């Protein structure tokens, strides 16, 4: 696993563990307080539940924020691929090397195919004007006979190489995205579990409040 993903894993593990611990502490304080309020409605018990409800709202907001961030990344493959910085840097270096190699091939083939190149080679060998003219005619004849075939073969080889390169690159990108996705999904499930626990606690508080209101209404009716 690349260094940046290891760092991300450490951060996510720390955050999710901290939020899970806060949720456990809140549950440990909330359920006894709610049971006490259900058994006896007093100002002290009402104040305890009110404070617990405030803590629940703040913690739920934090957990929901982390949950939405992770879900947003999981829904976008491009964002997950950009998180793999090592692979992104390797792809950039590979593309730069391929571009430089293609430029060198293009320049060398252009230099070898010009009539001036053949004439220069003839002159360097010390040949006379007639020899240079004959060499130029031979060079032009070879290009006219083999030009079409050479173009077709070069275009065919370039298309096949580009096709294989694109398929290999696509497969590599999918693997890199899958690596990030597995990491994020594991911690998303942890955060989602914490979020569901908080939602269950919130529903329990609402049910307790409804029950307390019913008891208060009943007591009020008895007083009347």
pLDDT reported for residue 134: 54
Dihedral pair phi/psi, residue 145, rounded to 5°? -80, -40
For residues 161 and 43, the answer to whether their CB atoms sit within 8 Å is: no
Give the single-character DSSP code of 114: S
> In this structure, how many other beta carbons lie within 10 angstroms of the beta carbon of residue 219?
10
pLDDT of residue 176: 83
pLDDT confidence of 123, banded at 50, 70, 90? very low
Kindly state the average pLDDT of the residues 209-221: 83
Distance CA 126, CA 210 (A): 108
Share of the chain above pLDDT 70, in %: 66
pTM above 0.85, yes or no: no
Location of structure tokens 């018990």: 45
What are the tens digits of pLDDT across the range 16-53?
A: 999 999 999 999 999 999 999 988 888 899 999 999 99
Element (H, E) at 32: helix 3-39
What letters, b where the CB count within 10 A reaches 16 and e where it falls short, cover 27-55?
A: beebeebbeebeeeeeeebeebbeebbee
List, in order, residues 6 or more apart from 16 with CB less than 8 Å away.
66, 187, 190, 191, 194
Q: What are the DSSP calls for 125-140, one per residue? A: TT--HHHHHHHHHHHH
- 70-122 pLDDT per residue, tens: 999 999 988 888 888 776 766 666 666 667 677 777 777 766 655 555 444 44
Q: Where are the domains of the chain?
A: 3-103+184-223
Among all chains, which residue has been given the structure tokens 């075939």? 149
Q: Identify the band that residue 125 occupies on the pLDDT scale cut at 50, 70 and 90.
A: very low
| Reported confidence tier of residue 137, pLDDT bands at 50, 70, 90 | low
pLDDT in tens, 143-199: 545 444 445 444 454 455 555 555 556 777 788 888 889 999 999 999 999 999 999
Query: Going by CATH, does the domain composed of 3-103+184-223 fall within 1.20.58.340?
Result: yes
């Amino acid at each position: 696993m690349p260094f940046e993903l290891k760092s991300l894993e450490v951060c996510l593990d720390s955050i999710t563990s901290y939020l899970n611990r806060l949720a456990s502490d809140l549950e440990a304080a909330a359920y006894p307080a709610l049971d006490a309020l259900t058994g006896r409605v007093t100002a002290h018990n009402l104040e305890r539940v009110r404070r617990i409800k405030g803590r629940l709202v703040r913690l739920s907001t934090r957990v929901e924020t982390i949950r939405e961030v992770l879900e947003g990344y999981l829904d976008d493959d491009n964002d997950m691929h950009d998180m793999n910085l090592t692979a992104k840097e390797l792809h950039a270096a590979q593309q730069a090397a391929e571009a430089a190699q293609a430029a060198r091939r293009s320049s060398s083939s252009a230099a070898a195919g010009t009539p001036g190149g053949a004439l220069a080679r003839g002159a360097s060998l010390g040949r006379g004007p007639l020899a240079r003219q004959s060499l130029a005619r031979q060079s032009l004849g070879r290009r006219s006979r083999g030009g079409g075939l050479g173009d077709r073969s070069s275009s065919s080889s370039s298309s096949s190489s580009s096709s294989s390169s694109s398929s290999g690159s696509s497969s590599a990108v999918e693997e890199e995205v899958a690596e990030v996705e597995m990491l994020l999904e594991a911690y998303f499930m942890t955060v989602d579990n914490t979020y569901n626990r908080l939602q269950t606690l919130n529903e329990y508080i609402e049910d307790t409040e409804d029950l307390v209101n019913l008891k208060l209404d009943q007591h009020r009716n008895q007083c009347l």
